[in-house]
Amino acid sequence: MKRYIFLTANIHPIGGMQNYVAGKAAYLEKNGWKVTVFFWGDNKGTCAMTSMNKYLSGGMTELGMPPGEWPRRIREQVLNRMVRLIGATDLADEIIVESQDDVLALWGELLAARLQAKHMCFICNETFRGPKKHYDQYLDFFNFKHKRRELTCIHKESMGKLFAGYKGVEDKEAYYFEAANEGPVQNVDNEKIDAIEKADWNICCIGRSDKTCVDPIMDGIAGFALSYPQKKIQLLIVGNVDDRMEWLHQKLDKASNLVLTCLGDLVPIPRTLFSKIDVVIGSSGCAECSVVEGVPTIVSDAENSLANGILGYTVFSAIFKNSQTVQLTYELALKQVLIDKIQDSLPFQWEANKPASYYYDQHMQFTAESEQSRQYDTDVCRQAHVDMGKLIKYYVRKYLPHMMSYYDSAKKKKGGKKEV
């Protein structure tokens, strides 16, 4: 039997990682693989992408912390639970474990060693240092995976950023992959989209509301609206922002000519939306899907959250700036698009992606060309110390979930954010 096991982010919301896993899981199942998905989060509720609901049993809150920060008893319980959910395996089975961030890579190595499986780190993160990031604590481990060609990132510059201060990475070893999906934009009807009225300018933001770029984006939009009080401006937000409405109004209500329209999660995004907007602000996959629809798209830099420019016109990466990029505020970027219309005098240069299956085939080829011996660095995955503060939060979240839900909601309303 062929088994493919994902260790990924929370599958309840909609985002780049969720779209990628949904598309690749469907591809794998079509090609004879039995797919299991483990994710950090609870196993209740439903997913924004209905195709992911069948994987909800794989939700484990413990996967949000490095395995070494748990007592050995809890760590073993988690691994044993994974093995039970995967089901009986045989030495003749072909088993691949794919992990997608720093913490999940550590869990993936322990699970792969338990199953004697192949473990590939397809890292979907765009940043590698800062709060809630653990890459710099485990660079020896990631170096081990890199040398075995079991580590790849989502941009050609990402590998160098991951190993910054540890080692240099030659271009030929800066492995990267396309986190492709079946496409979030489709020809579907939607009453919310049909009801959108055209203002002088309709600005659209697409993406998760907890990304660090949201704060400067909202400041830029409010500043732009204040600069043109005679214009009626509508801000359309695609993505669930229910728990940040108070914060959003604090940011935006200073501009009386700015109307906020929240569209919630759109799965898929109706293609007709793009005929009703003048400019999109987004990053990564959200920016890529927008530029393909022919709308000027302002790109947020994944590293410092500033605006890099207009995708396909002044900037040609949906993730990072390069040495020629002149970064700017979102207020100035909006002025370039809506007032100066600089895109009208520039050539458009953007190559549409190939079908997702083309990239998934590349993933499987990369895996086949990696080191095939079964060797694991499980010792480093356990190296850490038990964090009593996090442990207490874990037990409160597990046995008093309503209390933690109230705490999380209050934190977000105050503008507290986290980025995954």
Q: What is the pLDDT of residue 48?
A: 84
Compute the distance between CA of residue 375 and CA of residue 72 in angstroms, rounded to an integer.
22
Contact 168, 157 (CB under 8 A): no
pLDDT digits (tens, 9 = 90+) for 139-183: 999 999 999 999 999 998 999 999 999 999 999 999 999 998 877
Q: Give the pLDDT confidence score for residue 418 in this predicted structure.
A: 33
**pLDDT at residue 209, rounded to an integer:** 79
Alpha-carbon distance 360 to 355, whole Å? Answer: 9
Q: What's the rounded Cα separation, in Å, for the pair 25 and 6?
A: 9
pLDDT of residue 416: 42
With a cut of 50, list the residues of the chain below it in pLDDT. Answer: 415-420
The widest CA-to-CA distance across the chain, in whole angstroms, is 71
pLDDT attached to residue 315: 93
> What's residue 417's pLDDT?
35
Spatial separation of the C-alpha atoms in residues 199 and 221, rounded to whole Å: 15
Long-range CB contact pairs, 165-170, < 8 A, 24+? 165/136, 166/136, 166/139, 167/143
Contacts (Cβ under 8 Å, ≥6 apart) of 378: 109, 110, 113
